[in-house]
Amino acid sequence: MSKLLLVIALCVGLAGSAAAQAPETGLKVGDKAPDFALQGTDGRVHRLSDYQGKAVVLAWYPKASTQGCTIECKSLRDSASLIGQYDVVYFMASVDTPEDNLTFARNNEANFPLLSDPGKETARAYGVLSERGVANRWTFYIGPDGRILHIDRQVNPATAGQDLAERLDALKIARR
């Protein structure tokens, strides 16, 4: 009986971990990226439609001030000169409140805006909202025409900045 319970527990545990992974977004390369209007840590409301004709990177992250997100934020911050070589606007985005993101941005000296989606509408539109109620760590590369060029679902927080610059190069995003 104890072996049977162990097998059942393992099966339930595996099923639970599979269920904890959010289904992949219905968005794919070539799709029109959903517009958004999100409060930034720079005090502005940013809309995708405001950047028509410019490439946009939207790097979703799970939770402000957590270890992996801090590492990712610092990687993007430290890669500003690499990323700045491209004609691109880039953001980190989460479902955190504007206040939490502002504290997070200040504590990590973020030199780019962090966007807040506390109502989770944009996270749902992009398909990044996990069953835990936070965003998956996925990065969307959006072309100047508003279409998705690439979706990175395997973001490495430690190399996120360098990886972003390399992806911009591979996608042939215009240089400044």
Residues involved in catalysis? 69
Compute the chain's Rg from CA coordinates. Answer: 18
Asked if 29 and 148 touch (Cβ cutoff 8 Å), the reply is yes
Classify residue 60 by its DSSP letter.
Answer: E
Alpha helical stretches, state H, the chain: 2-20, 67-78, 80-83, 98-107, 121-126, 160-170
Token couple for 2:
């104890």
